[in-house]
């Protein structure tokens, strides 16, 4: 059975849920209030639905216990009781997880940054593979992907790519992807069949609301330049590309994907806000005790988090010791099994921490 404190919190959540429903049904409600209350209701939907399932299951358990001595129905009640008790345990675990403090960034959109690391052309090709993998994953989840800037090589690789990804709970699904990804495979140019190891760095930055990051325009150095690319229609004839330097921090962002200087500037400013926000988030994470910090994932860009081994067809996530022999499917965007395992691991670690604190 859940702790008394946990049940009390669940009762309070359901009470708040019913109050929001009443407010939404008020004839005097204004459009801004409709938006506000609808979001609040949506945020509580899952926990209230799970709590109600828990209460119904509890009632059915008591009903079946009362039938155990019944001559005709006792055996049937005993079989159903075993299933109900297993279901009740699962619901209790779900409720404990749902009551954990939510990451305030989980519902945010993100900026995805991928940079080729060690390995020359092979690293750039691997960076392109990762960019395709995340694009396919976003497509499967019906998220919108918008390329902000991309620097390509002549053989189909990517030196660096930045994309904005928008959709439902993007950060919550992508936040554990930050770090160094390593590939082990035989390059197409390798005649001796030797396996090479190359790397690419992935960064996932939550996109803050404008009000969350205040930028003083006088502290910006803004340069325009002519967009460069591999050739063809990608090369602009005007100075539409934008580079913005934030003087106090030295952060540099640039965008050259749009032909409009105005649009490129808007994209670059969004990216700058995300980088400044991420810098503040990093400070906050560093203030957390090291034991606690390890539980929620540091997002350290220098941490080697995953290896993609083509010869064996396997992908290993080193943080949780998970190996999957489905490299082709994962590189084709089927990331949910990895993401779910990482999420479950960190949630379990946080639950352990909560139990001992």
CATH number at residue 195: 3.30.70.1660
> What confidence score (pLDDT) does residue 214 get?
87
Instruction: Judge if 69 and 121 occupy the same domain.
Output: no
Give the end of a domain, one of 98, 119, 151.
98
Does the pLDDT value for residue 74 go beyond 60? yes
What pLDDT was estimated at residue 231? 40
Does the structure show a pLDDT above 60 at 290?
no
Taking Cα atoms as reference points, which of 265, 221, 219, 217 lies closest to residue 241? 265
Same domain, 70 and 207: no
Confidence of residue 241 (pLDDT cuts 50, 70, 90): confident
- Classify 118 as helix, strand or coil: coil
**pLDDT above 80 (res 312):** yes
CB 264 within 8 A of CB 149: no
Helices then strands, each counted (H, E), the chain: 9, 11
Give residue 83's domain range.
4-98
Q: Of the residues 98, 118, 153, which one is the last residue of a structural domain? A: 98
pLDDT value, residue 2: 64
The residue among 244 and 3 whose pLDDT is bigger is 244
Judge if 168 and 33 occupy the same domain: no
Specify the pLDDT at position 298. Answer: 45
Residues 6+ apart with CB under 8 A from 236: 226, 227, 256, 259
Average pLDDT over residues 106-134: 94
For residues 74 and 65, what is the distance between their CA atoms, to the nearest angstrom? 9
Q: Which of 36, 37, 33 is nearest to 19 (CA)?
A: 37
Same domain, 281 and 342: yes
SS3 track for 45-93: HHHHHHHHHHHHHHHHHHHHHHCCCCCCCHHHHHHHHHHHHHHHHHHHH
Confidence tier at 238 by pLDDT (50, 70, 90): low
Share above pLDDT 90 across residues of the chain, in percent, rounded to a whole number: 55
Residue 276 resides in a domain: yes
Identify whether 104 is part of a domain.
no
**Distance from C-alpha of 160 to C-alpha of 124, rounded to nearest angstrom:** 8
- The strands making up 241-246's β-sheet, listed across from edge to edge, are 220-225, 241-246, 251-255
Instruction: Please state the rounded mean pLDDT for residues 285-298.
Output: 50
At residue 233, the pLDDT reads 42
The structural domain count of the chain equals 2
For residue 199, the cross-strand partners are 182
Q: Name the pairing type of β-strands 322-324 and 314-317.
A: antiparallel
Do 85 and 165 reside in the same domain of the chain?
Answer: no
Mean pLDDT calculated for residue range 37-44? 88
Residue 283 lies in a domain: yes
In a domain? residue 50: yes
Nearest to 52 by CA among 99, 1, 13: 13
Question: Higher model confidence: residue 26 or residue 211?
Answer: 26
Q: Is 212 helix (H, G, I), strand (E, B) or coil?
A: helix
Is the pLDDT at 97 greater than 60, yes or no?
A: yes
Angle at 154 between CA 152 and CA 158, to 5 degrees: 25
- Judged against a pLDDT cut of 50, whether residue 148 lies above it is answered with yes
pLDDT tens digits for range 149-202? 899 988 889 999 999 999 989 999 999 999 999 999 988 766 667 888 999 999
Say if residue 294 is in the same domain as residue 262. Answer: yes
Output the pLDDT for position 355.
56
- CA dihedral 8→10→11→17, nearest 10 degrees, is 150
User: Of 221, 227, 220, nearest to 258 (Cα)?
Assistant: 227
Verify that 141 and 14 share a domain, yes or no. no
* The pLDDT of residue 297: 46
Distance CA(56)–CA(228), nearest Å, equals 63
Tell me what pLDDT residue 83 has. Answer: 93
């Amino acid at each position: 059975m859940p702790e008394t404190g946990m049940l009390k919190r669940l009762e309070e959540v359901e009470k708040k849920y019913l109050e929001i429903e009443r407010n939404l049904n008020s004839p005097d409600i204004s459009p801004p209030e409709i938006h506000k209350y609808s979001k609040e209701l949506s945020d509580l939907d899952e926990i209230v639905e799970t709590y109600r399932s828990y209460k119904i299951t509890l009632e059915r358990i008591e009903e079946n216990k009362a039938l155990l001595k019944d001559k005709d129905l006792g055996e049937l009640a005993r079989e159903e009781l075993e299933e109900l008790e297993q279901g009740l345990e699962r619901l209790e675990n779900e409720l404990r997880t749902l009551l954990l403090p939510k990451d305030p960034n989980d519902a945010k959109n993100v900026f995805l940054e991928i940079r080729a690391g060690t390995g020359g052309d092979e690293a750039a090709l691997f960076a392109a593979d990762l960019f395709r993998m995340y694009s396919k994953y976003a497509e499967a989840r019906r998220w919108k992907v918008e390329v902000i800037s991309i620097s390509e090589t002549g053989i189909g690789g990517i030196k660096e790519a930045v994309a904005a990804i928008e959709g439902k709970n993007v950060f919550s699904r992508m936040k554990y992807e930050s770090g160094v990804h390593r590939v082990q495979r035989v390059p197409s140019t390798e005649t001796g069949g030797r396996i090479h190891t190359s790397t690419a760095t992935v960064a996932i930055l939550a996109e803050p609301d404008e009000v969350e990051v205040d930028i003083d325009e006088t502290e910006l150095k803004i340069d325009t330049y002519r967009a460069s690319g591999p050739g063809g229609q990608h090369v602009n004839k005007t100075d539409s590309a934008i580079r913005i330097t934030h003087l106090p921090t030295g952060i540099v962002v640039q965008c050259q994907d749009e032909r409009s200087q105005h649009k490129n500037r808007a994209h670059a400013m969004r990216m700058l806000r995300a980088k400044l926000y991420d810098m503040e988030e990093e400070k906050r994470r560093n203030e957390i005790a090291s034991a606690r910090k390890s539980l929620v994932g540091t997002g350290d860009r220098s941490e080697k988090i995953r290896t993609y081994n083509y010869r064996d067809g396997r992908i290993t996530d080193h943080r949780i010791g998970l190996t999957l022999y489905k490299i082709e499917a994962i590189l084709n965007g089927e990331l949910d099994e990895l993401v779910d395992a990482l999420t479950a691991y960190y949630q379990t670690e946080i639950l352990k921490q909560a139990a001992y604190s």
